[in-house]
Structure 1
C-alpha cells in the first residue's frame, strides 16, 4: 500500500480516494464503472449519450428519425436518459455493494438539466454523486440536493469555484462531496482554459490547487472535503508531497486516461491498440471542438485533417479596403470578395490542388475544401440533433430560436457523430480520439509491457502500490 494513502468516507461508506474519470459518449460505461467501484474506488458512469440495450443485450443504435432539429433533440434527450439509467443500474449490480457509483454530465451538453433530472429520478438510491464540468454548472447543487445526491463540480481554478460557491453552492453546502480540479493543460477531453491562460505555457498544478483550497476555506468548507486532482495522474508516487499536506487538505485522485486500457473498458480494441503506441507529444491541445472549449486528443490523421483545413484559410472584405483590393475569382460565386494579392495567389493554388469550394466562417474568412468535404460538412450540419447547448459547427442553440445567431463554422466538426463512431468500432484515424497528456506512459510503463491489458481490479491494485 502506498504510504499515506488512506480510505475516505464517501456517501456513508469507506472508499479509496481513487475516482474513475467519466469519459463521455460510451467511453466509460457500466462495466468499467462497476468494476472500479467493486475494487473499492468510486466508479463513474458517463451520462453523456450513454448506450441502451435491446432485449438480447445488443447496443441500440442512436438513430434520429425526426425531420427537425428540435424533434431530433427530443429524441437525443430520451436516448440520453434511458441509456444513463440502464448504465447506472448495471454498474450498481457489478459493484455488489462495494465502493460507490457516480455519474458524470457535461453542463454544455444539450438538455443537460433535463437529462440530470431524468436520470436521478429513475436511479434513486443508486447514484452517490454527480461530477459535472464543461461550463459553469450553477444549478448542479440545486438539482443534486433535490434528490439527496452529492455533487462534485469540475473546475480549473479557484476563481471559477468562488463564482459557483457564491452564486449557488453555498445554499446546498451539505451535499458538496468534493471539488474536482481538472488541470487544463494535462487532462484529456474538454478543458477549462480561460482567456487569461496561455495554452502553450502549462502552469504547475500545485499553486493552483492551493489557491482552490484557500478559496474553499474562505467559504467555510472544511479541509476534510477533498480536492480531487484530475489530469496527468498516473503514478501516485509522483504526488507523494500532496498526500497529508496541510496546505492542501484532503486530496483524492481522478484517473481518466489510464482506465481506458483495461479489459472492462468499453472502447474498441483498435482504440486500445493505439493507446499502447502513443508517444510524448502525440497529444494535441486544440480548439476545433464545436463547444468552443480547448480539448486534448490524440493528434491522429483526423486532427491533422482539421489543422490542414484551417490552414487553407484567407480573410476577405466585402468591399475594397486597405490591401484587400484583389477580387477573388476561385471557389466563390459573386464578386464581393476582396482579398490581398498573396491570398489570391494562395487561393488559386488550392483551387488547382482540388480544393475548389470556399466556405464562409463566422470570422469573415474563407476555408477551401474539396467538393466531397463540402458535401460531408453540409450533411453533418443538416443532421444536427442538438447534442450541445450551443454548437459552433451547426449554429444550434438550446434556446427558443434554436440558433446561436452566428454563421455555422466549417472549421469545426460534428462531435456527436465522431465520438459515437469511434466508441463503437469506427476508424481510429478518421475520428476524434480523446486522451490525456499522460497517455504516452502506456508505452513506457513496464506494467503494460508486451501489450498487457489489466482488469480494473489489477489496475487499482497497481495504483495502490504507488505505481
Structure 2
C-alpha cells in the first residue's frame, strides 16, 4: 500500500486520519486527545458534552427549570461547560501532537451560544470546528472570530456551493477542509436529500470528484476533502491516495474508534459491536430532527418500527370510505377510519395496544398505556436540545414551538443518548453506528475480542 503523506490541517501537518466527532459523550477529550497524540486529528463532541466536579466525577445533566425555555438555558450552560472541559482534557492528552477539533450539530439547541462559549472558554485549545446536520452558514464567521478553522460537513457538491456563495467565500482563509459524509453509509444523522433514494446507495467517488471540481472552480485546490462514512481499512481506498483528480484527501473514522481502550462507551456497548451482523445497522427516519439516521436494529429501534406499523389514517368527520366510527381518548370521542383500518385497530387494541395517539399527519398510532405515559412524560420534560424537535414540538424561536402537533412516532433523543452513553443499557436505547459496524465481528484484527488502544489502531 502507498505510504500516507502528511496533510496540512488547521495550521499543522498531520496524518490524514481524522476521528469522527460522535455526539453526546461518545467522542470525548480522552479519545480525541489520544487520536491527536498519535499524529492525526482528534475530534471531541461538543453536543451536550460531559463536565466534571472537583473530584473528576461526571456531573449528571439534571434540569430544574419549570419551563422548556428555562431548561433550554440550563442545557446551553451544561453544553458550554462540557465543551470547555473536553477541550482541556484533549489538549492535555494530545501531548502537543496532532490537532484537536470540536464537532457540533448546527441544528442542536443553542448551537451558536455553545460555539461562542466553548471557543472563548477554551481559546487556543480548539484548532478546528466540524459542523453538519443542517446548513451551517454562520459557522465560518464564528470560527474566524476566534482564529479557528472550520470544516463543514456536506453530502453533495451542491450543498457546499450554496454554503460557499452565501457565506464561506468571505472567510476563505479559515476554511480548513470539507467533510464529505456518505449519506448511505455514515453513522448518526445522514444528509440524504429529497432527490436521493435511501435504498439506492451511490458510489462516493463520482460525488467526491464533483465536490473537488467545484472546489477547484472556487480556487480551493489546496483545501482537503475528508472522506467520511464507510471507511474501514485504508487499503480499500488506495486509489484515492495521491489521486490528482481528487487532490488532497483525508479519511475520517467514526465507528472504528468506538472499539478502542480510550473510547468512553460502556463495555456492554463494545461487546455488542463485536456481535453485529450485516444489515443490523438500519437507515431510518425516526429521529426527532427529521433527518435520516443510521442506528443499530436493537429492541429500541424495533419498538419504533413496530409502533409506526400500528398506524392508520383518520378523519374528524365521516367522508367517503372513512365512515367507520372509532372512539379515541378518555372520553371516547369518535374519529372515522376505513372499515379495514377499523378492524386492524381493533386487533391492536385486543393485543394490549389500547391507547391511540394522534400524529401531525392525521394518523393514529397504537401503543400500550405504559408506553403512552412514557411518551407524554418525555415530551413534557423537553429541554430544547434541538433547534426544532418534531417529537416534543419544541422550537427555539420566540413562540417556543414548531406550530405542529408533537409526534409520538419519534423519541426524546437527549434522554436516550445520555442513557446509552452513561449506562450499560445498549439494548433499550438508541445506538448510532455506521453501516460497516458489522465488520468488527469478521475482521481478524479484533479476533478474540481484542480492543486496541487508539495508538495501536492508528498505527495499524
Name structure 1 gaps, 5 residues minimum: 463-467
Match of 1:432 among 430, 433, 436: 430
Deviation at 1:219, TM superposition (A): 1.5
Q: Is it true that 1:176 corresponds to 2:175 in the alignment?
A: yes
Q: Does structure 2 retain, via aligned residues, the 8 Å contact 1:276–1:443?
A: yes
Q: TM-score, normalised by structure 1?
A: 0.97
Residue in 2 aligned with 1:214? Answer: 213
**Alpha-carbon distance in structure 1 between the residues aligned to 2:215 and 2:459:** 32
After superposition, residues 89-100 of structure 1 pair within 5 angstroms as 89-100=88-99
Q: Does structure 2 retain, via aligned residues, the 8 Å contact 1:422–1:431?
A: yes
Residue in 2 aligned with 1:465? Answer: none
Q: Does structure 1 retain, via aligned residues, the 8 Å contact 2:128–2:151?
A: yes
Residue in 2 aligned with 1:144? Answer: 143
**Alpha-carbon distance in structure 1 between the residues aligned to 2:21 and 2:417:** 14
CA deviation map 1:245-280 (0-9, x unaligned): 111111100000000000000001100000000111
**Alpha-carbon distance in structure 2 between the residues aligned to 1:318 and 1:335:** 10
**Alpha-carbon distance in structure 2 between the residues aligned to 1:306 and 1:346:** 18
Mean Cα deviation higher: 323-332 or 310-319: 323-332
Deviation at 1:396, TM superposition (A): 0.2
**Alpha-carbon distance in structure 2 between the residues aligned to 1:26 and 1:397:** 24
After superposition, residues 42-441 of structure 1 pair within 5 angstroms as 42-222=41-221, 224-329=222-327, 333-441=331-439
**Alpha-carbon distance in structure 1 between the residues aligned to 2:61 and 2:281:** 29
Q: Does structure 2 retain, via aligned residues, the 8 Å contact 1:270–1:428?
A: yes
**Alpha-carbon distance in structure 2 between the residues aligned to 1:187 and 1:96:** 30
**Alpha-carbon distance in structure 1 between the residues aligned to 2:136 and 2:9:** 22
CA deviation map 1:424-465 (0-9, x unaligned): 014111000000011011011111000000000000001xxx
Deviation at 1:336, TM superposition (A): 4.1
Deviation at 1:123, TM superposition (A): 1.1
Q: Does structure 2 retain, via aligned residues, the 8 Å contact 1:4–1:244?
A: no
Q: TM-score, normalised by structure 2?
A: 0.99
Deviation at 1:333, TM superposition (A): 3.9
Residue in 1 aligned with 2:457? Answer: 459
Deviation at 1:321, TM superposition (A): 1.4
Q: Does structure 1 retain, via aligned residues, the 8 Å contact 2:312–2:341?
A: yes
**Alpha-carbon distance in structure 1 between the residues aligned to 2:88 and 2:229:** 28
Deviation at 1:320, TM superposition (A): 1.5
**Alpha-carbon distance in structure 1 between the residues aligned to 2:327 and 2:402:** 31
Cα RMSD of the aligned pairs, angstroms, is: 0.9
Deviation at 1:4, TM superposition (A): 4.1
Deviation at 1:408, TM superposition (A): 0.1
Q: 3-state SS of the aligned residue for 1:337?
A: strand
Deviation at 1:331, TM superposition (A): 5.7
Q: Does structure 2 retain, via aligned residues, the 8 Å contact 1:331–1:368?
A: no
**Alpha-carbon distance in structure 2 between the residues aligned to 1:329 and 1:382:** 25
Q: 3-state SS of the aligned residue for 1:329?
A: strand
Deviation at 1:389, TM superposition (A): 0.2
**Alpha-carbon distance in structure 1 between the residues aligned to 2:230 and 2:445:** 17
